Amino acid sequence: MSARRFHRQQLCIALAVSMVACALSVRPWRGLIEHSMVWHMAVQMPMLVAGGWLWIGAAISGPDSRRLDAWNRYGLTGFFASQVVFAYWMLPLAIDRAVVMPTADAVKVAILLACGAMLKHSFDRSPPVMQLFFVGYAVSTLVAAGVFLATTESRLCNAYLMDSQVAAGWSVAVLGVAIGVAWGLGALQGVRVTTRRRQGFPDP
């Protein structure tokens, strides 16, 4: 497959993920996130971040992004910003606002797309040990928040039924574990490639 065709395919995937995620905030598909916390927290929100990562991240991570690099050495600024963004959008009151206030939902869409882009920029510039710190923090937060949502007896979001909250809690916890496993496999692959290069073997 030529590089150009591969690039075009990547753009198509990025566009599809971003558009599906954005469409979930527009009627008639908006009903899905209004009625199901799983669709909101475990499908739309991760898709927005993934869309930002794939779509905008590819644009700002290119070799011409030196000016941005100076503000994001080792990916530090992007990691801190994404942590603040995740901290807010994990709050039950933020989830409620996005459901009942279309303006808040539009802000959510824009911020999570931007967050995905920032994360892509940061991951491209950070050493594995720094990635481990931030991914570890994100995974532990997602798992802890997910288990809490699933096991608490209180209905934390006024906009969702208790059953929906429990399902969303487990989904978020599984998402956290999946992110940890995906990063771990990626890091392992990186270690293998580096080791092979040090030993003088060609890249597979």
Contact 173, 147 (CB under 8 A): yes
Q: How far is the CB of 12 from another protein (least distance, A)?
A: 20
Q: How far is the CB of 116 from another protein (least distance, A)?
A: 16
Closer by beta carbon to another protein, 12 or else 84: 84
Contact 183, 131 (CB under 8 A): yes
Length of the chain: 204
In angstroms, rounded to a whole number, what is the distance separating the alpha carbons of residues 145 and 90? 8
In angstroms, rounded to a whole number, what is the distance separating the alpha carbons of residues 159 and 91? 13
Closer by beta carbon to another protein, 20 or else 81: 81
Pick from 96, 87, 86: which is nearest to 156 by CA? 96
Closer by beta carbon to another protein, 77 or else 180: 77
C-alpha triplet 193, 195, 197: angle, nearest 5°: 70
Contact 40, 98 (CB under 8 A): yes
Q: How far is the CB of 22 from another protein (least distance, A)?
A: 23
Q: How far is the CB of 88 from another protein (least distance, A)?
A: 6
Q: How far is the CB of 172 from another protein (least distance, A)?
A: 16
Closer by beta carbon to another protein, 92 or else 169: 92
- Residue numbers at the binding site for another protein (CB under 8 A): 61-63, 66, 69-74, 76-77, 80-81, 83-85, 87-88, 91-94, 96-97, 100, 124-125, 154-162, 193, 197, 199-203
Closer by beta carbon to another protein, 30 or else 97: 97
Pick from 166, 174, 111: which is nearest to 143 by CA? 174
